[in-house]
């Protein structure tokens, strides 16, 4: 079987789907690996390293897409690329199926077997394929570094001959994978850290990282199936804002990471809260691409508001391309090893991982949420 890693064409995407170390592992298992020339350049993995690991370097992208048995990508492919894939080929990447119904329809028409890596279940069994986690962790780390660089203060406490510097106060909102990594990173830099999440279960994890957990007593269930957060009522949102507002006001840095799967990001930091922050304070909003947790956030921009800097970064994992690619590559290789046995594709649709992550197969859109999104799109097109 030919396992193929294509070059990313999206502007600003520096990651690569396979790194040489993973290529060597796949080759050792008897798989043939092709890598597009220059695919790893932006993440400092050069063609020579891929060749040394046993990959064949392919210069013509058309050949690569046409001949692939399993094509690995980071971001979504372009339509012309999808049209090159042969019937029955497998495509794996962050395909954003709910946001890209047209692409999914095309993949199904082309009889491509597409795996959307963000649909891998968040279970212990699937942990080593969980690219949402591996990449969120990179984002959480990088968010703190961005905040530290933008903050006109030290992070750690310092006792010097010229006086004592108080440590920075960091408030992390949303203590999922990115939030926990942000807490750990801010603590390592010497900040005093507080954190908040509507899922009470994370309290112990927050405390074990040396941060204080800010508690909000809500009279409703906040956890949905799979351990994810649920969208909360208006009353609960208001209660939350009252409590967290006080902590935002006192913080030098606020890092927001709160998300509810399939929904716009919840608004946690209002304009009034930003207005009460000290001049020079910094907010890094990791939910910027999903609408933002802060009312002042603009995705992809740094906004100055009343002396507060609000940063809405896009695709943070791409800014740490070596390690983000290394982790992502491991996630993909584990999935490849899961679906390829004895050099043959073996898909068991009773298996929960395959059932969840395979979005198109044999001309069929297999995921019901994705099917609904496609239906909504065609209804919309019929109306207009």
Which active-site residues does the annotation give? 122, 127, 130, 133, 228
In contact, 135 and 328? CB cutoff 8 Å: yes
292 makes contact with ligand NAD (CB under 6 A): no
198 makes contact with ligand NAD (CB under 6 A): yes
Looking up tokens 């968010």 gives: 143
Looking up tokens 């897409």 gives: 65
Report the residue number, 2 or 323, with the smaller CB distance to ligand NAD.
Answer: 323
> Cα(33)–Cα(31) distance, rounded to whole angstroms?
6
227 makes contact with ligand NAD (CB under 6 A): yes
Report the residue number, 40 or 174, with the smaller CB distance to ligand NAD.
Answer: 174
The CB-of-155 to ligand NAD minimum distance in angstroms stands at 23
Q: Which residues, including other chains, have CB under 8 Å from residue 40's CB and lie 6 or more apart?
A: 16, 18, 19, 20, 46, 47, 49, 50, 325
The HSE-up count of residue 168 (CA atoms within 13 Å, CB side) is 30
127 makes contact with ligand NAD (CB under 6 A): yes
98 makes contact with ligand NAD (CB under 6 A): no
Of 43, 108, 259, 297, the residue at the interface with ligand NAD (CB under 6 A) is 259
Of 97, 266, 313, 317, the residue at the interface with ligand NAD (CB under 6 A) is 266
135 makes contact with ligand NAD (CB under 6 A): no
Cα–Cα distances in Å, from 142 out to 76, 110, 288, 301, 314? 23, 38, 15, 16, 12
123 makes contact with ligand NAD (CB under 6 A): yes
Q: Kindly tell me the burial class for residue 125, based on how many C-beta atoms sit within 10 Å of its own C-beta (0-12, 13-18, 19 or more).
A: exposed
258 makes contact with ligand NAD (CB under 6 A): yes
153 makes contact with ligand NAD (CB under 6 A): no
260 makes contact with ligand NAD (CB under 6 A): yes
Of 2, 187, 199, 249, the residue at the interface with ligand NAD (CB under 6 A) is 199
Report the residue number, 43 or 259, with the smaller CB distance to ligand NAD.
Answer: 259
228 makes contact with ligand NAD (CB under 6 A): yes
Of 173, 254, 365, 373, the residue at the interface with ligand NAD (CB under 6 A) is 173
Pairing of strands 158-160, 364-365: unpaired
> Cα(193)–Cα(250) distance, rounded to whole angstroms?
12
Of 197, 274, 281, 330, the residue at the interface with ligand NAD (CB under 6 A) is 197
| Stretch of 5-13, 65-73, 106-114, 168-176 contacting ligand NAD, by CB under 6 A | 168-176
Of 61, 245, 261, 291, the residue at the interface with ligand NAD (CB under 6 A) is 261
Helix residue ranges, H only, the chain: 20-28, 47-52, 61-67, 79-82, 101-109, 131-150, 177-188, 203-208, 234-250, 271-275, 321-339, 352-357, 368-383
| Residue nearest ligand NAD (C-beta atom) | 176
CA triplet 355, 360, 364: central angle to 5 degrees?
Answer: 105
313 makes contact with ligand NAD (CB under 6 A): no
Q: What is the CA radius of gyration of the chain?
A: 22
> Cα(333)–Cα(55) distance, rounded to whole angstroms?
14
The CB-of-141 to ligand NAD minimum distance in angstroms stands at 13
| Stretch of 12-20, 63-71, 254-262, 303-311 contacting ligand NAD, by CB under 6 A | 254-262
Q: Which residues, including other chains, have CB under 8 Å from residue 304's CB and lie 6 or more apart?
A: 310
Report the residue number, 16 or 177, with the smaller CB distance to ligand NAD.
Answer: 177
Binding stretches for ligand NAD (CB under 6 A):
122-124, 127, 130, 132-133, 136, 173-179, 196-199, 227-229, 232, 257-261, 266, 268
């Amino acid at each position: 079987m030919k396992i193929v890693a294509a070059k990313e064409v999206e502007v600003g995407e520096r990651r690569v789907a396979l790194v040489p170390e993973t290529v060597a592992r796949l080759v050792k298992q008897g798989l043939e690996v092709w890598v597009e020339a220059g695919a790893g350049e932006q993440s400092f993995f050069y063609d020579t390293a891929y060749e040394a690991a046993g990959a064949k370097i392919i210069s013509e992208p058309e050949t690569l897409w046409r001949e692939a048995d399993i094509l690995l990508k980071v971001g979504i492919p372009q339509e012309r690329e999808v049209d090159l894939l042969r019937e029955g080929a497998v495509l794996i990447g962050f395909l954003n199926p709910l946001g890209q119904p047209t692409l999914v329809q095309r993949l199904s028409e082309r009889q491509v077997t597409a795996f959307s890596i963000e649909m891998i279940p968040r279970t212990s069994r699937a942990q080593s394929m969980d690219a949402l986690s591996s990449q969120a962790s990179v984002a959480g780390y990088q968010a703190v570094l961005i905040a530290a660089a933008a903050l006109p203060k030290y992070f750690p406490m310092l006792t010097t001959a010229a006086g004592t510097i108080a440590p920075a106060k960091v408030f992390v909102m949303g203590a999922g994978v990115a939030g926990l990594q942000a807490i750990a990173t801010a603590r390592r830099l010497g900040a005093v850290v507080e954190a908040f999440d509507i899922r009470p279960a994370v309290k112990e994890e927050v405390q074990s990282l040396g941060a204080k957990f800010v508690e909000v007593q809500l009279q409703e269930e906040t956890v949905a199936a799979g351990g994810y957060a649920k969208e909360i009522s208006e009353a609960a949102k208001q209660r939350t804002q009252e409590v967290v507002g006080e902590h935002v006001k006192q913080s030098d840095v606020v890092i927001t990471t709160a998300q509810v799967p399939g929904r716009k990001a919840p608004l946690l930091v209002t304009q009034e809260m930003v207005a009460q922050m000290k001049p020079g304070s910094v907010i890094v909003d990791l939910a910027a691409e999903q609408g933002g947790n802060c009312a002042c956030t603009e995705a992809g921009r740094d906004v100055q508001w009343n002396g507060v800097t609000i940063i809405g970064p896009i695709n943070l994992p791409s800014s740490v391309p070596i390690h983000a690619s290394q982790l992502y590559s491991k996630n993909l290789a584990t999935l490849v090893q899961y679906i390829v046995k004895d050099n043959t594709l073996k898909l068991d649709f009773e298996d929960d991982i395959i059932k969840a992550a395979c979005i198109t197969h044999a001309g069929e859109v297999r995921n019901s949420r994705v099917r609904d999104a496609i239906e909504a799109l065609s209804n919309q097109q019929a109306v207009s």
